[in-house]
Amino acid sequence: MPDPARPRRPLGRRAVVRGLAAAAVLGATGCTRDPDGPTDGASGRTLGAPPACDEASGTPARPRRGRVNVVVVSVDDLGWQELGCYGSDFNETPEIDRMAAEGVRFTQADAAASVCSPSRAALVTGLYPGRTGITDYLRPEAALSEAFLSPDLPTVPDVLGVRGYSCGLVGKWHLTEVFSGPYRERPGNPFAHGFDDVVVTEQRYIGSSDYVHPYAFMPDEPAREPGEYLTDRVADEVEAYLARHRAEPFFVHVSNYAVHTERVAKPALREKYAAKADEVAAAGGAAVDEDRVVLAAMLESVDDQVGRLRRALECQGLADDTVVMITSDNGGSNSERNLPLRGGKGELYEGGIRVPLVVWGPGVVDGGRVSDLPVSTVDLLPTAADLAGVPAGRRPATDGVSLLPTLTGRGEQEQRDATYWVFPHHFGAIRPYAAVRAGDEKLLMWLRDESVELYDLAADPGETDDLAARRPASVTRLRGLLRAHLDELDLFPGPPPDGPGGRRLLGPDADLAPRAVVVGDPVADARLDGGSGGGSGGGSDGARLVLGGGEGREVLVVTDVAPGSDDVGIVATPAPLRGGARGRNLLLGLARNGGTSVLLRYRHDRRGVAWEVRLDGELRDVGAEPLRGMDGTVDLSRPGSRLALRLRGHQAAAYVEQGEGWELLFRADVGPALDLGDPGVRAGLRYAVGARTGDGEVVVERLTARTL
């Protein structure tokens, strides 16, 4: 719960947000910096040179304040066993290994998601990604969606602010899809969430990384030195942050861009590990590829950065008052290097979500221990709240639990009954699915048909032995938990329900035949058969729509029926499409004159689906390649097969019925430009059905629309 005494920041999707420039509080610490440095492009404040500890002057230990500083160091795409302390015999991470030996190392830490943005949202909110609305990595500004972490959600500054904490971000944010306009006015930017000291965060989209100045995604960021390496710059800024805030309690997220692809290492370190790879090969060891060489070199730079952080804390007299947590936002991107765990980034198998977690704090943490407690990214915020002494009544609800009893070795450690993951997206060949872990059992459920896999992680951490058929009671229990969680999240609209209601636009007992506007080829390519009206402009109960008349022609029939609310469904039952039917497509969705449409496209030659969104005739988004993994699994040649598109607000979900109930095909964000929650947008749209004809005709026997 935010402190009433704190100035309230504006909320909302287009809020103009404030930001506070942090004062440089140095005091008599023996650490110095240049007061006349360059200007940071994001915050607009003057940067100084990184502080240097003056060993001669010394730094007296400060009294404990009862409010522990919290530093979270995240490493982008760091696999669970890439650190020396987790078993790597090639990478060299002595600084992190030392902190693991002096602190607590968790062996069963999982990221809240298998990709970056959802985990980052979970870190600052303590909520599962499904509750934040960010379930996939965020796209460039050109994307049709406009996703961002809503400032309406309480985040770290709201929670720790009640205890007077300054909250900072050094590095990557990636929680908004808006990259134009003044930085502090962009929806979802870190200042909008109350972070008061933000440096070297991306100003442009960071799809592929850029590690040497000038930085493509931070074009306004000045360098401290020629040829500056980004991981070193983050280290500089961490040291400067500690100098500015040593006199007050603070939380700072040190958010590395490394070791995300495209990987770039400092040349000398790359040469070091290339030589080491040659030594391994000469000794008869397994070949070490170039990617592993470069990753090792990059990781050594991260490790050096962590060492500089530790030494700066000691220099500033902050070590006994600070807890440092080191982790990753998701599993490693190389599945082979995640072995024996299964999978990698983007997957909900353990290789995609298992991450390192090292917690160090010599004045707080009972160190020298290893914990097998299952933990999650959502636990970091409640742990920070306990370290800060935030009263229970001043905290928002989270999905996490505080790890303080495990860290201190005092008190009883609370544990969740279950931990959940939901990834309702296509990611390469990965299909939408969800998972739940309770105890050592973990169930994965594919959202298309709700088929499941069950694993015992204690006996089978590599998830190689599917126990679903042998443990039906566990499947029933865990499926029930996961189904209840999905229903609570309500992330995507379900299929249009069967039964009474809705409007039959076409077929037996139709309320209205499509008095159509035909977009595309001549009107003769669409006709009504089986009723008295005839022709594409007539109306007739019981009529069916015949679409065809020429090789490669595309015809879209736009009815005169508008969606009646911000939640609608449209269902088409085609006559069975026979043979290869090369080139035949069935189109279903909403459209308006001027070439604006949201359409589901079934391709009979591929036996697959895609979607497309057009704005004023311009193709803005097409979901083809991510869905190719479904090719061969959607077949409208079966009698009674149906295709459905459900739209709710700006979310679209496609379904198919092939004799065994509705199956979810995909969920897509069709963007604010086609948000049915906007009455003006909704008023101009009409239900539509169409086809691209190949070697014959496509017949639609029934078309039903329903307001939900």
pLDDT at 529: 77
Is residue 447 in some structural domain?
yes
Do 355 and 433 lie in a common domain? no
Q: Which of 394, 416, 438 is the last residue of a domain?
A: 416
pLDDT of 539 higher than 60: no
Is residue 34 in some structural domain?
no
pLDDT at 579: 65
DSSP letters for 430-467? BPPEEEEEETTEEEEEETTT--EEEEETTT-TT--S--
What's the one-letter identity of residue 297?
Answer: A
Do 404 and 434 lie in a common domain? no
Is residue 19 in some structural domain?
no
Assign residue 672 the CATH number of its domain. Answer: 2.60.120.560
The 10s digit of each residue's pLDDT in 117-162 is: 999 999 999 999 999 999 999 999 888 888 999 999 999 999 999 9
Per-residue pLDDT band at 245 (split at 50, 70, 90): very high
Is residue 61 in some structural domain?
no
In the predicted model, what is the mean pLDDT of residues 568-597?
84
Task: Write the Ramachandran bin of 24: left for phi over 0, alpha for psi from -120 to 50, otherwise beta.
Answer: beta
The 10s digit of each residue's pLDDT in 51-81 is: 556 544 444 444 355 689 999 999 999 999 9
> Which structure tokens are listed for 150?
């809503």
pLDDT at 501: 76
Phi, psi angles (nearest 5°) of residue 64: -65, 140
Domains contained in the chain, number: 3
> Which structure tokens are listed for 334?
């190389």
CA distance 627 to 612: 12
Cβ proximity of 47 and 40 under 8 Å: yes
pLDDT at 515: 59
Do 81 and 211 lie in a common domain? yes
Do 315 and 462 lie in a common domain? no
Do 139 and 118 lie in a common domain? yes
Assign residue 450 the CATH number of its domain. Answer: 3.30.1120.10
In the predicted model, what is the mean pLDDT of residues 603-607?
89
Do 529 and 467 lie in a common domain? no
pLDDT at 551: 63
Per-residue pLDDT band at 28 (split at 50, 70, 90): very low
pLDDT of 46 higher than 90: no
Q: Domain range for residue 701? A: 503-707
The 10s digit of each residue's pLDDT in 322-337 is: 999 999 999 999 999 9
Do 292 and 436 lie in a common domain? no
pLDDT of 40 higher than 80: no
Is residue 96 in some structural domain?
yes
Cβ proximity of 14 and 152 under 8 Å: no
Do 454 and 508 lie in a common domain? no
Q: Which of 416, 437, 460 is the last residue of a domain?
A: 416
The 10s digit of each residue's pLDDT in 496-531 is: 888 777 888 888 777 666 655 555 544 447 777 765
pLDDT of 213 higher than 50: yes
Q: What percent of the chain is predicted at pLDDT more than 70?
A: 85
pLDDT at 319: 96
Assign residue 151 the CATH number of its domain. Answer: 3.40.720.10
What's the one-letter identity of residue 427?
Answer: F
Do 482 and 406 lie in a common domain? no
How many angstroms from the chain centroid is the CA of residue 182? 24
In the predicted model, what is the mean pLDDT of residues 89-98?
97
Is residue 495 in some structural domain?
no
Per-residue pLDDT band at 693 (split at 50, 70, 90): confident
pLDDT at 518: 56
- 590 or 46, which is more confident: 590
What is the bridge-based pairing of β-strands 375-376 and 104-110?
A: parallel
pLDDT of 235 higher than 70: yes
The 10s digit of each residue's pLDDT in 419-442 is: 999 999 988 888 999 999 999 999
In DSSP terms, 107 is beta-bridged to: none
- Report the candidate in 427, 431, 413 with the shortest Cα–Cα distance to residue 665: 431
> Which structure tokens are listed for 534?
């005839």
pLDDT at 506: 83
The 10s digit of each residue's pLDDT in 586-596 is: 999 999 877 88
Do 97 and 168 lie in a common domain? yes
pLDDT at 556: 85
pLDDT of 29 higher than 60: no
Q: What's the predicted TM-score (pTM) here?
A: 0.88
In the predicted model, what is the mean pLDDT of residues 6-10?
30
Phi, psi angles (nearest 5°) of residue 604: -75, -30
- 682 or 51, which is more confident: 682
Radius of gyration of the chain (CA): 28
pLDDT of 418 higher than 50: yes
Mean pLDDT, the chain, whole residue set: 86
pLDDT at 514: 64
- Report the candidate in 589, 556, 555, 585 with the shortest Cα–Cα distance to residue 570: 589
Do 408 and 430 lie in a common domain? no
- Report the candidate in 26, 27, 23 with the shortest Cα–Cα distance to residue 43: 23
pLDDT of 348 higher than 60: yes
pLDDT at 44: 44
In the chain, % helix, strand, coil (3-state, to 5) comes to 25, 25, 50
Highest mean pLDDT among 375-384, 647-656, 671-680: 375-384
Do 403 and 520 lie in a common domain? no
Per-residue pLDDT band at 629 (split at 50, 70, 90): confident
- Compute how many other C-beta atoms are within 10 angstroms of the C-beta atom of residue 692: 20
Is residue 516 in some structural domain?
yes
Is residue 192 in some structural domain?
yes
Q: Which of 437, 461, 489 is the last residue of a domain?
A: 489
Q: Which residues contact 267 (CB under 8 A, 6 or more apart)?
A: none
What's the one-letter identity of residue 485?
Answer: H
